[in-house]
Amino acid sequence: MNIIETNLSFGSMSVRSKTTRIILHHAAAKSCGAATIHQWHLNNGWSGIGYHFVVRKNGTIERGRPEKYVGAHAEGSNSDSIGICFEGDFMTEKMTDTQKNAGKELVAYLKKKYSISKVQKHSDVCSTDCPGKNFPFSEIANVSASASTSSSSSSSSSSSNSDKLTVDGWWGPKTTRRLQQIFGTTVDGVVSNQFSCYKAQNPGLDSGWEWESNPSGYSPLIKAIQKKVGATQDGHIGPKTIKAIQKWLGCTQDGCFSGPSPCIKKLQQWCNNQAA
């Protein structure tokens, strides 16, 4: 499964302290993506798109509000839930298999990631038609967590400390989680507050990265890694930090993590050699 990063800019949000359920919605609009919904929700005076994911009709999964923040999608039920919106109006439309399968894949992934099984319709918690009478709720909601396929680009199982990383050269949530365990920072699989200008140069930095044009914070994990490799400790990954990591690992120092990157492979091997 591949989550498309959308790099939207948000107002202030609070971090969600627990995740116990998934709530499903439809957009009630025939054609819209995360960026369009983001604009609608900004126009409501909200901090930005209230859903964490948007499943498009073509099967693309787009990131909405960063996963760790409290959403704005189901009044009274936001503090412990992840909100997924499906493009379309399922009061009148029928969902295609392509979109349904993408939704099932995302729900399986989230069930596995958070070790949860509860999935609800928006109408289960609020007085609303959402997600529409034609929405294939049980098919999507009842997917098993074990159906989650760990593709190289976005595997995300809640790995125990002893789990070995797949050495695939992509730095996604699973590699981040393992590094967070090793470096003793919060284990959430997300590298937050990074400069979006460094993303394009580093295709090996996969999903699970938060890119912002002008981040107000930094990543404690990147800062800890910078300390380890002797780079300036500002908590932002850029060519200098990548060069320092490459030097530390004995790789070619080009300041870029290609995808798949031989140097990220070495980093993953290093992780696998650390004590559990």
Number of H helices, E strands in the chain: 8, 8
Instruction: Using the minimum distance from each CB to Zn ion, give the nearer residue, 118 or 227.
Output: 118
Query: 121 with 73: CB under 8 angstroms?
Result: no
Instruction: Using the minimum distance from each CB to Zn ion, give the nearer residue, 112 or 122.
Output: 122
Contacts of 74 (CB under 8 A, 6+ apart): 23, 25, 81, 83, 122, 125, 126
Residues of this chain, 16-55, that bind Zn ion according to CB under 5 A: 25
How many chain residues bind Zn ion (CB under 5 A)? Answer: 3
Question: CB of 56: closest distance to Zn ion in angstroms?
Answer: 17
Sign of the Cα pseudo-torsion (230, 236, 240, 246, in order):
positive
Q: Which of 32, 49, 119, 130 binds Zn ion (CB under 5 A)?
A: 130
Q: Which of 122, 174, 178, 223 binds Zn ion (CB under 5 A)?
A: 122
By CB under 5 A, which span of 9-17, 114-122, 148-156, 180-188 interacts with Zn ion? 114-122
Instruction: Using the minimum distance from each CB to Zn ion, give the nearer residue, 25 or 56.
Output: 25
Question: CB of 122: closest distance to Zn ion in angstroms?
Answer: 3
By CB under 5 A, which span of 93-101, 122-130, 134-142, 225-233 interacts with Zn ion? 122-130
By CB under 5 A, which span of 31-39, 102-110, 130-138, 198-206 interacts with Zn ion? 130-138
* CB-side neighbour CA atoms (13 Å) of 127: 0
Neighbouring CB atoms inside 10 A of 253's CB total 16
By CB under 5 A, which span of 53-61, 127-135, 229-237, 239-247 interacts with Zn ion? 127-135
Tell me if residue 16 falls in helix, strand or coil: coil
User: Token digits for 157?
Assistant: 């199982």
Neighbouring CB atoms inside 10 A of 214's CB total 7
Instruction: Using the minimum distance from each CB to Zn ion, give the nearer residue, 50 or 66.
Output: 50
Question: CB of 121: closest distance to Zn ion in angstroms?
Answer: 8
Question: CB of 30: closest distance to Zn ion in angstroms?
Answer: 16
**Residue 121 is a binding residue for Zn ion (CB under 5 A):** no
Query: 219 with 192: CB under 8 angstroms?
Result: yes
Q: What radius of gyration do the chain's Cα atoms show?
A: 19
By CB under 5 A, which span of 37-45, 108-116, 124-132, 254-262 interacts with Zn ion? 124-132
Query: 50 with 110: CB under 8 angstroms?
Result: no
Neighbouring CB atoms inside 10 A of 185's CB total 17
- Site residues for Zn ion per CB under 5 A: 25, 122, 130
